[in-house]
Amino acid sequence: MSLLVGKGDTIHFSENILDFTDGTLDATKLTISWKQMGRTRTETYIRCRFTVTSSERKDGQLFIQASKLQALIDKQDRDGPMIAVKVGDDFQFGQNQGRTERFLVFHDKNNKPYQHRFVEQLLVVLGDQAIDWARNMGFEGIESIRNKAADIIGEYLRDF
């Protein structure tokens, strides 16, 4: 069984996502900017942690386009204080080159930001709290982000 979250898995995340403005680590607001077709695009995303409970435990970061939050909530099944959503074709993912870490993105799939935009912005907003996650994604330290980002420019989010 894969240790990476995949299509068909049910992810669980805190209902605190509904109040993402409180600044807690359960949910963090990020502004992601990128160039697409020669124009600068910007979207607000909400970041939270998710888990998958199966025979092997998986977890990761979930990025939800703020204007799509209600659409994701509408897909939910309640699991106590957790929201449970099945990963399907409406999700995309980013992963490190070693394919050992994966994050999920729920957004308008016409948006085409590179994967590293999410990693970079999370470091800017959360600083030290995001460094471990960034290291797992292949970024050894803040000083290497520019170098690593240059290596993956053109690496779009992937479909399942």
* The predicted structure's pLDDT at residue 159: 93
Residue among 101, 97, 98, 94 nearest 32 (CA):
94
User: Is the C-alpha dihedral spanning 75, 123, 42, 150 positive or negative?
Assistant: negative
Please tell me the pTM assigned to this model: 0.79
Alpha-carbon distances of 157 from 3, 45, 79, 111, rounded to whole Å: 19, 15, 28, 10
**Average pLDDT along the chain, 160 residues, taken 10 residues at a time:** 82 74 60 89 92 76 92 78 89 87 94 87 69 67 51 73
* The predicted structure's pLDDT at residue 91: 97
Q: What is the DSSP string of 48-104?
A: EEEEE-SSS-EEEEEEEEGGGHHHHHHT-EEETTEEEEE--TTEEEEE-TTSS-EEE
156 phi and psi, to 5 degrees? Answer: -75, 165
Q: Enumerate the β-bridge partners of residue 58.
A: 52
CA distance 76 to 12: 9
